[in-house]
Amino acid sequence: MNNVIIVTGGAGGIGSEICRGLAADGLKVVVADYAKEAAEKVAAEIRDAKGDAIAAKVDVGNPQSVAEMMAQAIAKYGRVDYAFCGAGVMTRLPVVEMPEDEWDRVLRINLKGVFLCAQAAARHMIPRKQGRSLSIASGRGVAGQARSAHYAASKAGVIAFTKSLAVELAPHNITVNCVCPGATDTPMSRSGMTPEQFKQREEIPPLLDGLTQKDEIVGLVRYLLSDATRFVTGQTFFLRTPK
């Protein structure tokens, strides 16, 4: 496979696994993240394993920065076939204690960030009449989450955005879907939890709603980029039942 993918949040726990997995399949990968050094590290690991990757620094909430990321990807590889919008943040705070600027920060990265990256990708893909756009939402976007209402609201927004953009882009042969992992062992899911609280999660077997394994997410992404799903669009895929 010779296709090019941009993965935002590509230096993170889930994003880096997607970058490594797809690079091993032969995709050219743009590891895009605000954490530039961490993104460089993931890209270097991929190149060491004989894959093809570059790192791009991006703030997904900033249109100028997103435009620069797209330009960098196109300058290097000539095109972008797939966009994977995975950058996200979460904090744990009750609504009554939530400062307005924390609400704005989380919505800006998690929801506006998906809008800006998917928009930039769509503008590039429409004239080419092909492309696939994927994002990460969350079961929290349908079930809600106490102490993370801003996060849950942002992910509900990603689900609705996905369905809407899918309808707009279907005439252009571009699919848009989103992936909802269950709780996955990453820096994000460990934040705001004691090691003991996290250990309790780890003790639940995956088949009984325990942690999502990262290779499950990579496998679903592979499926959503495969020929088998060329007509699948506007869908939300849950790896665990949201509750």
The tokens of 238 are what? 């849950």
- The mark string for 23-62 relative to ligand NAD (x by CB under 6 A, - otherwise) is ----------xxx----------------------xxxx-
For ligand NAD, which is the closer residue by CB, 78 or 187? 187
Is 34 annotated as catalytic? no
Q: Does 148 bind ligand NAD (CB under 6 A)?
A: no
Contact between residue 175 and residue 219 where contact means Cβ atoms under 8 Å apart? no
CB of 222 to ligand NAD, least distance (A): 17
Number of helical H runs and strand E runs in the chain: 10, 7
Residue 62 CB partners (closer than 8 Å, separation 6+) = 116
Structure tokens at 203: 């003790």
- The amino acid sitting at 27 is L
Q: Give yes or no for residue 11 binding ligand NAD (CB under 6 A).
A: yes
Q: Residue 30's beta-bridge partner residues? A: 6, 54
Please report the beta strands in 50-126, taking only residues with DSSP state E, as ranges in sequence order: 52-57, 82-85
Closer to ligand NAD by CB, 21 or 181: give it. 181
CB-nearer residue toward ligand NAD: 7 or 225: 7
Q: Which of 34, 77, 82, 151 is flagged as catalytic?
A: 151
Question: Which residues of the chain form contacts with ligand NAD (CB under 6 A)?
Answer: 8-9, 11-15, 33-35, 58-61, 86-90, 109, 136, 138, 181, 183-184, 186-189
Active centre residues (catalytic): 151
